[in-house]
Chain A
Amino acid sequence: DIQMTQSPSSLSASVGDRVTLTCQASQDIMKYLNWYQQKPGKAPKLLIHGVYNLEAGVPSRFSGSGSGTYFTFTITSLQPEDVATYYCQHYRELPLTFGGGTKVEI
């Protein structure tokens, strides 16, 4: 199975800060990577598919980049409503696997 490793596991930043999370795959997953946001007690919400494709309605302060085994997710100006845990997920092959998440706090 492809292992997805996210770092850091948690971070604390200030409103307006630029925040960057990383996700590393244990093997080449090309551009088959998604990002989700999960708030406490809620289901994950899809933010980005295929590395950089923002879902409809998702604020443009969220972005993604990368390919192969190294990927980043950036919030350009952190807002209070962005407090959540963020997960990456590959879809290079089955089984689909998720990273362990990065918890973002203010």
Chain B
Amino acid sequence: QVELRESGPGLVEPSQTLSLICSVSGDSISSGNHWWSWVRQSPGTGLEWIGYIYYDGRAGYKSSLKSRLTISVDPSRNQYSLRLTSMTAADTGVYYCARRFGSGVHTDWFDFWGQGVLVTVSS
């Protein structure tokens, strides 16, 4: 069974950087069969796709976050990560990692999700 698990701090100070890791089990990132995603959810903006990454490092980002966002992958550890700089209260929410079903065009549905990690931006 495919499992994803997010890890990282639950509290980030304003203007600081959020770093989260998603650890994958039951599937191999290096298989190249999927893209690996981040989705966040907040009361204000609902569910929001942030970006995703392929095993070879190719990534797609939401354009409004692109200047602050880096998604990277470590196939040897079967992990991928998110780094979001200059955090503000608007970035508060639950961050999920999720597996995109396929690697081809128009296969963008998320079939496995982590349990989510609540990130609060506050001093």
Size category of the binding interface on chain B: 20 to 34
Q: Is the interface of A mostly helix, strand, loop or mixed?
A: loop
Decide yes or no whether B46 CB sits under 8 A from chain A: yes
Inter-subunit contact A46/B47 (CB<8 Å) = no
Question: Number of residues in A with C-beta < 8 Å to the partner?
Answer: 22
Decide yes or no whether A66 CB sits under 8 A from chain B: no
Q: Which of A28-55 contact B (CB under 8 A)?
A: 32, 34, 36, 42-46, 49-50, 55
Residues of A within 8 A of B63 (CB): 95
Cβ-closest chain B residue relative to A6: B46
Decide yes or no whether A87 CB sits under 8 A from chain B: yes
Inter-subunit contact A49/B114 (CB<8 Å) = no
Q: Which residue of the partner chain, among A36, A49, A97, A101, contacts B49 with CB atoms under 8 Å?
A: A97
Using a CB–CB cutoff of 8 Å, the interface residues on chain B facing chain A are 46-49, 60, 62-63, 96, 98, 101, 106-111, 113-116
Using a CB–CB cutoff of 8 Å, the interface residues on chain A facing chain B are 32, 34, 36, 42-46, 49-50, 55, 87, 89, 91, 94-101
